[in-house]
Amino acid sequence: MSNSIKVLLETVMDPEIPTISIVDLGIVTSIESPQPGHAIIELTPTFSGCPALRIMEQMVHDKLAESGYTHIEVKTTFNKQWNTNMITEKGLIALKQHGLAPPPKHNGYIELDVLSDTPCPYCNSRNTEMQTPFGPTLCRSMHYCKNCLNAFEAFKPVS
C-alpha cells in the first residue's frame, strides 16, 4: 500500500524545479497507510525558509485526494534532516536536465573548494568559478564556466 503511494508521489514535481519529483529530491521521509484509503506522509524541508514547502504539502494532499484517498495527513517535520546526499541518482540527472549542476556527494563536511570546483552542466568542464553561494532560490549557487563562457546555477551541497 505505501508502495503505491510512493508511485503517486513520484509524479508530484518540485514547484521550482519541475524535472524532479519530491521523492527523488529526498524530502519524503515517511509514508504510512495504516488502512485502505488512509495516507500519512511526512516531508522534511530542504531549507527551513523554503517558501515552496506549504505548496508541496498541498500538492501531496491534492494528488492523494484525487487518487481516492479519503483520510490524508501531510506533516512537515525535522525528524529526519534533509541533506543533498538524499537526492536519488535519478534526481541528480533530473537536476542536470533543468540546467542545474547537481550537488556532489559529501561526507558531511562542506568547504569552499567543493563549490569552486563545480562541473559545468552544459559542457562538463571543471574550469569554472563560483560567483556567489546565494542564487535565485535558497538551494542554488551561481557559477561561471570559463570553458563554454556560460553562466550557470548549481544545486548546492548541504550537509
Partner 1 sequence: MEFTEKHVEGLKELLYKMADDLLIIGHRNSEWTGLGPMLEEDIAFSSMAQDKVGQSLALFELLHELGESDPDTVAFTRNDHQFHCSQLVELPIGEYDFSMVRHFFFDHAEAIRFEMLADSVFEPLSMVARKFKGEIKYHTMHADIFMQKLAAGGEESFSRMQNSINETFGLALGMFEPGKYEEALIESGIFGGEAELQRRWLDKVLPLLESFGYVVPKVESTEPAFGGRHGIHTPHLQPLLDEMTEVFSIDPGADW
- Interacting positions 87-146 with partner 1 (CB under 8 A): 110, 112, 131-136, 138, 142
Could you list the beta-strand ranges (E) of 1-70: 28-32, 38-43
Report if residue 51 touches partner 1, rule: CB under 8 A: yes
C-alpha cell of residue 118: 563545480
Shortest spacing between CB 145 and partner 1, in angstroms:
17
Q: Give the DSSP H/E element, type plus range, for residue 114.
A: helix 112-116
Residue (69 or 82) nearer to partner 1, CB: 82
What gap in Å lies between CA 132 and CA 29, rounded to an integer?
Answer: 30
Instruction: State the amino acid at position 159 in one-letter form.
Output: S
Report if residue 155 touches partner 1, rule: CB under 8 A: no
State the number of binding residues for partner 1 (CB under 8 A): 24
Neighbouring CB atoms inside 10 A of 85's CB total 15
Using CB under 8 A as the criterion, which residues of the chain lie in contact with partner 1 when the complex forms?
45, 47-51, 78-79, 81-83, 110, 112, 131-136, 138, 142, 156, 158-159
